[in-house]
Amino acid sequence: MGIAETDERERSGIFSTAARILSAYRNQHALAAAAEPNFDPARFVWGSDTLYLVAPSHHQAQLAPIVVCLLDQIRQATYARGGNPPPVIFALDEVANIAPLPDLPAIVAEGAGQGLVTLACLQDLHQARARWGRAADGFLTLFAAKLALGGIADRDTLTQLSYLGGSTDVTYRTRNGQGLKGGWSQSIQQRPLFPPERINTMPAGIAYLAHSHYSPLYVSLVPPAPIPRRKTLRELLAPWRRGVARGAAGRASVTHSKEKNHD
């Protein structure tokens, strides 16, 4: 009743927003998957299974409402568990795009105490502010461990990461005047232990780790195990073809031997 009485332009905007949010539920693949649901959040949070949610970049905005709804159901089921079960882990890559949970700051703040650990990957804090507003300013406090890779271009992000590393006093001596009348002056200035430009230019395989309970440091990343290359059909059939060739050669040799003996 309230929407029907609103201004026509405002009502049009409301319907457009609702249509955009619900557009994912018109996807044929989503409808087909929902026809016979086989996922129970309450059972999932008690097991040891892993659920992978993957969406191409050009569909992330459309599918984000479905992803957020599913994650929220898992969160509620996790909070409803009793006892001391193993934690549930949210490993959210590109969280601002594919999994923009509106209450992500609250989940990070309270989830660990209720068995839900959140691992969120962002490009920089500017991206987080665009999604969560001023609440994103507390992310460096909410997340106990902060791991940064090289190539960050946002100056504010680099400055805050550098600030977490602390600073040290550096003594500078300056020569004043010339000859016998000259003298030395001394000044102390603070210099960051992890300068922003050094964090920005870290090479591949090196990361900056800042933890709430430990001193920041540079760490070496363990390279992932190589993924075995899938064999082509030609490679899969090669042993069979060699066996066929040897068998044919053997039969030809026996036939030739019999013909020679017959002669």
Tokens (6 digits) for 109: 């703040």
* Averaged pLDDT for residues 149-168: 94
Rounded Cα gap, residues 195 and 159, in angstroms: 8
Name the percent of the chain lying above pLDDT 70: 86
Q: Give the Å distances, CA to CA, from 103 to 111, 125, 131, 260.
A: 11, 17, 11, 88
Give the start-to-end residue ranges of the domains of the chain: 8-165+196-235, 236-263
Instruction: Spell out the alpha helix ranges (H) of 165-263.
Output: 196-200, 233-262
Residue indicated by tokens 């009348």: 181
Q: E-assigned strands of 177-225?
A: 183-192, 206-211, 214-220
Structure pTM?
A: 0.69
pLDDT value of residue 173: 82
CATH architecture, range 8-165+196-235: 3-Layer(aba) Sandwich (3.40)
113-128: average pLDDT: 94
Query: Minimum mean pLDDT among 95-104, 131-140, 149-158, 170-179: which range?
Result: 170-179
The confidence score (pLDDT) of residue 130 equals 93
What's the confidence (pLDDT) of residue 63? Answer: 81
pLDDT at 18: 77
Q: 123 exposed, middle or buried (CB, 10 Å; 0-12, 13-18, 19+)? A: middle
The more confident residue out of 243 and 263 is 243
| 257, pLDDT greater than 70 | no
Considering the chain, what is the average pLDDT of its residues?
84
Segment 79-117, tens digit of pLDDT: 999 888 999 999 999 899 888 999 999 999 999 899 999
For the packed helices 125-132 and 155-164, what is the interaxial angle rounded to 10 degrees? 110
